Amino acid sequence: MKITIIGTGYVGLVTGACLAEIGHDVFCLDVDPRKIDILNGGGVPIHEPGLLELIQRNRKARRITFSTDVAASVEHGEVQFIAVGTPPDEDGSADLQYVLEAARSIGRYMNGFKVIVDKSTVPVGTAQRVQDVLAEELAKRGLGASNQHRFSVVSNPEFLKEGAAVDDFMRPDRIIIGIDEDANGELAREKMKRLYAPFNRNHERTIYMDVRSAEFTKYAANAMLATRISFMNEMANLADRVGADIESVRRGIGSDPRIGYHFLYAGCGYGGSCFPKDVQALIRTAAESGQHLRILEAVEDVNHGQKDVLVDKIVKSMGADLTGKHFAVWGLAFKPNTDDMREAPSRRLIAELLARGATVSAYDPVATDEARRVFALDLANAPDQHARLSFAASQDDTLAGADALVIVTEWTAFKAPDFEYLKEELKAPRIFDGRNLYEPDAMAELGFDYHSIGRPHVKLVKQASDATPAA
């Protein structure tokens, strides 16, 4: 099938490359010539494991094309995927200007029946707005809903984890397709069934529903996952107070099949492009319908506070004034295997350390370039603070003379460092671990003052124990 992907961001590129991989003829459109130049030059504008190799292989096989030619993109695809950004607006609602502009472009140039697929994460009711824009553009051209210019708007939300998106797309646990029972719905269903047929050969993975339910499903899924994260973080904060070990608790409750282990890891808060904005957008959608989503409002509030948990531990241990203190920071991206810095906990942490007078040397395996750009914007009005932030070429290069190591992202490279080398390089053997990478008992035995999330501060416990007279 001939497929058009509008938008070469995270969702668009993965969708286009994977559909090309299963044999479709894919045309990827973007209005940003810089992105298209990168792609046509053999690179990719984002970091996602396996994506570059997939694109290179399918470019060589001539199954994927990258262009800024809007008219050609509309002519090419019988199925038109809208995969543009939906950033949060000032009030937290999803900004649909790029989605609706994509729909207008299709309406300006389409000839013949088209299936228009909302792949972007959009609020309930967006498909109707896309349909209205298409009808408006066709009317401007003097074209009604004739047989030649029919269309159907479909919702096909993505469920891709950054860092594992290619595998998620190629081995989906479900494919959600929302199609309304209208005059063109059956033809749209046939085309979508044919499009995804390779994924359904062993067993049917597609779940069909109405468009509004499909739009809602995406938001509900992300809201549930965000809720699990905030729940565990709140439990971890309580575990800190009562002396429980949140890792033991996680194993205990995760073994219940009704709960499971996924998204039950305590840490320093979630970030990225999906959870923060989707929770906000769902809260906003509810408010517009006269309802308060009290659970999700609490989820958002807990996550906001959790991004300060490492700073709180640092202040408790080292004092509020950090002037003259130097910190090594490992991990900048909001999660491993991506360079995405959107809503990353590292941004709040580093900004607070700098505001308290500290200097920071930071390292991330892939996100350093993006971090440079982001922090230049974040600290544009604080040049003195920006001057105290540097980026290292390796994790070891951050350590020399540091008063403490702070771990923000759980990259594999950070999970088994040379601890003796760490002790030699650090001014004090002090670690603040925002991802619970190490065992507190083992770290105490190695001589580290180790602070984690929701786990006992073993060194202090041992000192108290040693001070207690024997019976």
The answer on pLDDT for 108 being more than 90 is: yes
Binding-site residue set? 30, 35, 86, 121, 159-162, 218, 263-267, 271, 277, 335, 342
Predicted pLDDT of residue 27: 98
Binding-site residue set for substrate? 159-162, 218, 263-267, 271, 335
Predicted pLDDT of residue 149: 64
Q: What is the mean pLDDT of the chain?
A: 93
Angle 245-246-249 from CA coordinates, rounded to 5°: 95
Beta-sheet pairing, 151-155 with 326-330: unpaired
Q: Work out the pLDDT band at 150, boundaries 50, 70, 90.
A: confident
pLDDT 10s digits, 52-79: 999 999 999 999 999 999 999 999 999 9
Work out the end-to-end distance of the chain between its first and last CA atoms, rounded to an integer number of angstroms: 80
Catalytic residue among 18, 28, 268, 274: 274
Domains of the chain with CATH codes: 2-209 (3.40.50.720), 219-305 (1.10.1040.10), 307-467 (3.40.50.720)
Structure tokens that stand for 84 in this block: 């543009």
Predicted pLDDT of residue 462: 47
DSSP per-residue codes, 126-181: HHHHHHHHHHHHHHHTT--S-GGG-EEEEE------TTSHHHHHHS-S-EEEE--S
Q: Work out the pLDDT band at 94, boundaries 50, 70, 90.
A: confident
Q: Work out the pLDDT band at 459, boundaries 50, 70, 90.
A: low
Predicted pLDDT of residue 152: 95
Cα separations (Å) of 334 from 173, 270, 367? Answer: 24, 7, 9
Task: Output b/e per residue, 398-412; b: 16+ Cβ within 10 A.
Answer: bbeebbbbbbbbbbe
pLDDT (mean) for 88-92: 78
Q: Work out the pLDDT band at 89, boundaries 50, 70, 90.
A: confident
Binding-site residue set for NAD(+)? 30, 35, 86, 121, 162, 277, 342
pLDDT 10s digits, 398-443: 999 999 999 999 999 999 999 999 999 999 999 999 999 999 999 9
> Is 28 considered catalytic here?
no
pTM given for the model: 0.90
Q: Work out the pLDDT band at 145, boundaries 50, 70, 90.
A: low
Predicted pLDDT of residue 283: 94
The answer on pLDDT for 466 being more than 90 is: no
Predicted pLDDT of residue 465: 44
Q: Work out the pLDDT band at 16, boundaries 50, 70, 90.
A: very high
Predicted pLDDT of residue 148: 56
Residues contacting 363, CB < 8 A, separation 6+: 328, 329, 330, 331, 332, 391, 392, 393, 394, 395, 397, 398
Residue whose pair of structure tokens reads 């040397």 in the numeric block: 361
Structure tokens that stand for 8 in this block: 């070469």
Amino acid at 251: R
Q: Work out the pLDDT band at 468, boundaries 50, 70, 90.
A: very low
What's the order of all strands across the beta sheet hosting 206-209? 64-67, 25-29, 2-6, 79-82, 114-118, 151-155, 175-178, 206-209
Q: Work out the pLDDT band at 90, boundaries 50, 70, 90.
A: confident
pLDDT 10s digits, 282-316: 999 999 999 999 999 999 999 999 999 999 999 99
